[in-house]
């Protein structure tokens, strides 16, 4: 069996790697190889054996001991030729390398991009099992990805800390959190931290409603406000703010900057002193929470079992309380977004959170 971690890292990856290695070794004495640096290592032929010794002591470690990258798609592989960036289909090398290593099952731990690649490899005949990860929690066909609640805890701690300084200085504090296409982290940390405004991609806001919500608090005697904004949020009729492009990446656009935009608009229109914090990659780092370690372990065990049973082309998935499996085809091509009419948004509204979309 071989295992790789693809895409952006997230807390709990090592717990999955460990669970896959231990389950496979115990099951049928199966040997497990760890592919280095995600799909790059798979194409370039870089791997090492994951013995019990190798996975000992990694359960609580953030990041991934295997390394990862979110650039190298085997079907669209970035190469420098004569100083120019070109893309080649190197997927045949994947099958060749796996065959040479004697690998009969490949476990791919990744987000939407990696599950797309896993699905394409599976269509090509590679025996693949997927494990859903991303702090964004935006993968379809699973109720939850591991890493999400650790990121939410980090963002909530930031909201808590901003609260005390906001109150002391009578300021508006804007916190920009991750969430390219979905507002799960913003909504969950906003709810947990008691934010006053939560701006998410699923609910385009108007500047008027944002200002109204802050003014209403001021009139009610609250001289400070906390705004949590997802990096992918945008005002109605506007586009998300792009920070940079990463050439060679499947999705080259990196978002960032909406926090500064919200901060400057609020300060200009309300006259209230405003400060902006961008939480960034802190959300992806650090030790996984107990919850994420458990979920990651359950996913790793389930993935190794699927692989040992020869049930390929599947992704492990949480449905309610139970870990099961869904076809990889069901996990790709669509995202799990925050339902605007859902219970979580309703709970936030009921407790006084504004989404900047009212009126
Ligand atoms: O998908 C996870 C994520 O953390 C997004 O929330 C964010 O937009 C992106 O990855 C950042 O990617 P990078 O690590 O390439 O900056």
What count of other Cβ atoms lies within 10 Å of the Cβ of residue 310?
Answer: 10
The residue whose CB lies within 8 Å of the most ligand 1 atoms, and thus the one to mutate among 6, 254, 258, is: 254
Question: Does residue 250 carry a pLDDT above 90?
Answer: no
Identify the three-state secondary structure at position 202.
Answer: coil
Which residues does 292 contact at the CB level (< 8 Å), separation at least 6? 11, 12, 15, 146, 147, 148, 149, 150
**Nearest partner of 246 among 64, 67, 8, judged by Cα:** 8
Q: Which atom of ligand 1 is least distant from the CA of 283?
A: 4
For residue 279, report the distance from its CA to the centre of ligand 1, in Å: 12
- What are the pocket residues of ligand 1 if the criterion is a CB atom closer than 6 Å to any ligand atom? 8, 70, 111, 134-136, 178-180, 231, 246, 254-255, 284
Distance CA(317)–CA(305), nearest Å, equals 13
The per-type count for the chain, helices as H runs and strands as E runs, is 11, 15
Instruction: Give 255-291 pLDDT, tens digit per residue.
Output: 999 999 999 999 999 999 999 999 999 999 999 999 9
Q: Which atom of ligand 1 is least distant from the CA of 249?
A: 15
For residue 4, report the distance from its CA to the centre of ligand 1, in Å: 18
Query: Is 357 in contact with 206 (CB distance < 8 Å)?
Result: yes
Query: Is 13 in contact with 64 (CB distance < 8 Å)?
Result: yes
For residue 244, report the distance from its CA to the centre of ligand 1, in Å: 12
Identify the three-state secondary structure at position 139.
Answer: strand
The pLDDT, as a whole number, for residue 29 is 78
Domains and CATH numbers, the chain: 2-146+287-331 (3.40.50.450), 151-285+339-350 (3.40.50.460)
Where are any strands of DSSP class E within the chain? 2-5, 33-35, 47-49, 77-81, 84-88, 106-110, 128-132, 172-177, 197-199, 225-230, 242-245, 253-255, 274-278, 314-319, 322-327
Instruction: Give 94-108 pLDDT, tens digit per residue.
Output: 999 999 999 999 999
In the set 9, 136, 138, 292, the catalytic residue is 136
The pLDDT, as a whole number, for residue 137 is 97
The mean pLDDT of 138-142, rounded to a whole number, is 95
Distance CA(34)–CA(333), nearest Å, equals 27
Residue ID of nearest Cα to ligand 1 atom 13:
8
92 assigned to active site:
no
DSSP one-letter code for 327: E
Q: Which atom of ligand 1 is least distant from the CA of 284?
A: 4
- Residue 188 tokens read as 């969950």
């Amino acid at each position: 069996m071989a295992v790789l971690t693809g895409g952006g890292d997230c807390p709990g990856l090592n717990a999955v790697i460990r669970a896959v290695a231990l389950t496979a070794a115990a099951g049928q004495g199966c040997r497990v190889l760890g592919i280095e640096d995600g799909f790059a290592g798979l194409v370039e032929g870089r791997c090492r054996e994951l013995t019990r010794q190798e996975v000992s002591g990694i359960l609580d470690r953030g990041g991934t001991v295997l390394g990862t990258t979110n650039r190298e798609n085997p079907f669209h592989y970035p190469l420098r030729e004569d100083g120019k960036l070109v893309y080649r289909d190197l997927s045949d090398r994947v099958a060749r390398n796996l065959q040479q290593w004697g690998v009969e099952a490949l476990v791919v731990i990744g987000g939407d991009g990696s599950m797309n690649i896993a699905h394409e490899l599976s269509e090509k005949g590679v025996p693949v099992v997927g494990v859903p990860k991303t702090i964004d929690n935006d993968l379809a066909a699973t109720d939850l990805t591991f890493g999400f609640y650790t990121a939410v805890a980090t963002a909530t701690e930031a909201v808590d800390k901003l609260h005390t300084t906001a109150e002391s200085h009578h300021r508006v504090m804007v916190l920009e959190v991750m969430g390219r296409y979905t507002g799960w982290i913003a909504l969950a940390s906003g709810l947990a931290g008691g934010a006053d405004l939560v701006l998410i991609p699923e609910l385009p806001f108007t500047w008027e409603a944002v200002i109204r919500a802050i003014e209403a608090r001021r009139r009610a005697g609250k001289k400070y406000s906390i705004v949590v904004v997802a990096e992918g949020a945008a005002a109605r009729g506007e586009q998300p703010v792009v920070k940079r492009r990463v050439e060679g990446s499947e999705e080259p656009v990196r978002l960032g900057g909406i926090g500064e935009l919200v901060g400057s608009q609020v300060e200009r229109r309300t006259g209230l002193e405003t400060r902006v914090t961008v939480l960034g990659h802190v959300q992806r780092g650090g030790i996984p929470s107990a919850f994420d370690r458990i979920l990651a372990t359950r996913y790793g065990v389930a993935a190794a079992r699927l692989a040992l049973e020869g049930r390929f082309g599947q992704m492990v998935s949480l449905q309610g309380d139970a870990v099961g499996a869904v076809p990889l085809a069901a996990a790709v091509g669509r995202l799990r977004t925050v339902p605007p009419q859902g219970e979580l948004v309703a709970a936030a509204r009921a407790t006084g959170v504004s989404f900047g979309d009212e009126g």
